Amino acid sequence: MSSLVRLFVKDYKNTEKPTVREAYGKFASVVGILANVFLFLIKLVAGLLSNSISITADAINNLTDSGSSVVTLMGFKISGKPADAQHPYGHARMEYISGLIVSFIIMFLGLQLILSSVKKILNPEESVLNLLTIAILLVSILIKLWLSIFFRKIGKTINSSSLIATSVDSRNDIIATSAVLASTVIEHFFGYNLDGYIGTGVSIFILISGLQVAIETISPLLGVVPSKELTEKFYRKILSYDGVIGIHDLTIHNYGEGKCFASVHCEVPADQDIMISHDIIDNIEQDFLEKENVHLVIHLDPVVLNDERTNLLKQDVENIIADISTQISMHDFRVAWGVTHSNLIFDIIVPFDMQENQEEIITEIKKRIELLDPSYRTKITVDHPFIPDIGDI
């Protein structure tokens, strides 16, 4: 497998490079097309020789698989196109769409095989077993086993959901063909025609697998929470720069493999020269683009550090919030001190599962702050956690 990759994919080790990743995808798709067309032809011969509708249906299954590989090939080709005026974030998500199409093909095939299997139960037909048929089915199982490993390995190498979906489809084919072979052998030696029953069970398994692949493929299209490892990497890298004292409101959007856009609020000392802070932010954004291939936009948040009265009040408010719920956190705290009243302005992060009690939480925080001093007026903005809990960084 590795020798084939080295032969057909130039610069194969540099998988972060878009052109290399596209070459991997095209190579895997072409292999899938050729292998499945070959399997279709030999299984069709076996089906005709043995008068087995299940083997013939399995042959059609392989022809459908070759069509899936064509869809995957087109997906990689389109996803490799650069950004344009209509698609400023590029076309990389097309790969997810091709994976979704493959999942629909898997589910459609599962439904079709269920119908064929039920018909076989209602109208059983005797099949003819011969050595050629057995040999063809065994060869088919071995080829599909190799294809499943092949697609999964390349899919993991380039983090491709469509190739992983194709690997699942190949695994399903192994089970389907094995069931067809087993039912044929059982019928020949014991006289029990289990073809339709086994076909129904396999078809249901294929249908469920297709649904799982669809769910896994739809998630990145809708937008999913970034991994804990990725968010930890962002936090540690940004906080490593001198002059950054804290970050919050990190959001990460994936527009396909290698197309990552992110934004974050960086806290800097309010008494630090604005030109110095701006230069730090520029350097962080440029470093992320050059070293991580991430388009990062940073919002500057000046934080007052040397006002003891503000710091003490901030600590009191943090204690109030922690007493209400340890799941809630606060950021962007600032105070506009006045003569008759003072305005406390801050954001709180409320978990999604506490949304229904959001107004009650705000009311309770305001009530307890007024107990500190009736002249305090509170303005609270509610955020929801975009990233997983990563603990202390």
CA distance 137 to 84: 48
Number of separate domains in the chain: 2
Q: Is 324 exposed, middle or buried (0-12, 13-18, 19+ CB in 10 A)?
A: middle
Q: Which residues of 156-175 are buried (b: 16+ CB within 10 A; e: fewer)?
A: ebbebbbbbbbbbbbbbbbb
CA distance 222 to 84: 22
Q: Report percent pLDDT > 70 for the chain.
A: 94
Output phi, psi for 175, to 5 deg.
-65, -45
Average pLDDT of the segment spanning 95-115? 79
* More reliable by pLDDT, 156 or 226: 156
Confidence of residue 361 (pLDDT cuts 50, 70, 90): very high
Please indicate, yes or no, whether residues 190 and 239 belong to a single structural domain of this protein: no
Please indicate, yes or no, whether residues 288 and 208 belong to a single structural domain of this protein: no
Is the pLDDT reported for residue 365 higher than 80? yes
Is the pLDDT reported for residue 312 higher than 60? yes
Dihedral sign for Cα atoms in the order 376, 325, 223, 12: positive
Residue 393 lies in a domain: no
Dihedral sign for Cα atoms in the order 315, 319, 321, 325: positive
Distances (CA, A) of 319 to 83, 122, 173, 344, 383: 48, 71, 59, 15, 19
Please indicate, yes or no, whether residues 204 and 281 belong to a single structural domain of this protein: no
Please indicate, yes or no, whether residues 205 and 242 belong to a single structural domain of this protein: no
Residue 392 lies in a domain: no
Residue 58 lies in a domain: yes
* More reliable by pLDDT, 4 or 378: 378
What are the tens digits of pLDDT across the range 253-287?
A: 877 666 788 999 998 988 889 999 999 999 999 99
Please indicate, yes or no, whether residues 260 and 164 belong to a single structural domain of this protein: no
* More reliable by pLDDT, 286 or 51: 286
Is the pLDDT reported for residue 392 higher than 60? no
CA distance 21 to 14: 8
Is the pLDDT reported for residue 372 higher than 90? yes
Q: Containing domain of residue 21, as a range? A: 2-222
Please indicate, yes or no, whether residues 279 and 373 belong to a single structural domain of this protein: yes
Q: Of 222, 247, 276, at which residue does a domain stop?
A: 222
Residue 174 lies in a domain: yes
- Name the least confident of 76-90, 99-113, 273-287, 358-372: 76-90
CA distance 294 to 296: 6
Residue 107 lies in a domain: yes
CA distance 165 to 200: 22
pLDDT of 376 reads 95
Please indicate, yes or no, whether residues 303 and 245 belong to a single structural domain of this protein: yes
CA distance 348 to 36: 55
Q: Report percent pLDDT > 90 for the chain.
A: 25
pLDDT of 296 reads 93
Q: Which of 190-199, 273-282, 300-309 has the highest mean pLDDT?
A: 273-282
pLDDT of 210 reads 77
Query: Taking Cα atoms as reference points, which of 376, 346, 385, 369 lies closest to residue 267?
Result: 346
- How far from the centroid of its chain's Cα atoms is residue 240's Cα? 28
Average pLDDT of the segment spanning 360-370? 93
Q: Of 188, 222, 256, at which residue does a domain stop?
A: 222
Is the pLDDT reported for residue 313 higher than 90? yes
Helical packing angle, 94-122 and 53-79, nearest 10°: 170
* More reliable by pLDDT, 1 or 182: 182
Is the pLDDT reported for residue 391 higher than 70? no
Average pLDDT of the segment spanning 317-330? 92
Sorted by sequence, the CB contacts under 8 Å of residue 82 that are 6+ apart come out as 90
CA distance 68 to 66: 5
pLDDT of 191 reads 74
pLDDT of 279 reads 95
Written as six digits, the tokens of 41 are 């032809």
Helix, strand or coil for residue 314?
helix
Please indicate, yes or no, whether residues 150 and 197 belong to a single structural domain of this protein: yes
Please indicate, yes or no, whether residues 162 and 299 belong to a single structural domain of this protein: no
Average pLDDT of the segment spanning 69-86? 75
Is the pLDDT reported for residue 390 higher than 60? no
Please indicate, yes or no, whether residues 145 and 52 belong to a single structural domain of this protein: yes
Is the pLDDT reported for residue 178 higher than 80? yes
Q: Of 182, 204, 222, at which residue does a domain stop?
A: 222
DSSP string for residues in 250-312: EEEEESSTT-EEEEEEEEEETTS-HHHHHHHHHHHHHHHHHHH-EEEEEEEEEE--S-HHHHH
CA distance 212 to 152: 16
List beta partners, residue 347.
Answer: 331, 381
Indicate which CATH number applies to the domain containing 279.
3.30.70.1350
- Name the least confident of 58-62, 135-139, 375-379: 58-62
Please indicate, yes or no, whether residues 83 and 160 belong to a single structural domain of this protein: yes
pLDDT of 162 reads 76
Average pLDDT of the segment spanning 205-216? 78
User: Across all residues in the chain, what is the average pLDDT?
Assistant: 83
Confidence of residue 128 (pLDDT cuts 50, 70, 90): low
Residue 389 lies in a domain: no
pLDDT of 315 reads 94
What are the tens digits of pLDDT across the range 339-348?
A: 899 999 999 9
Residue 132 lies in a domain: yes
* 295 torsion bin: left (phi>0), alpha (psi -120 to 50), beta (else): beta
CA distance 224 to 133: 47
CA distance 108 to 116: 12
Please indicate, yes or no, whether residues 239 and 357 belong to a single structural domain of this protein: yes
Residue 269 lies in a domain: yes
Indicate which CATH number applies to the domain containing 118.
1.20.1510.10
Written as six digits, the tokens of 185 are 């052998």
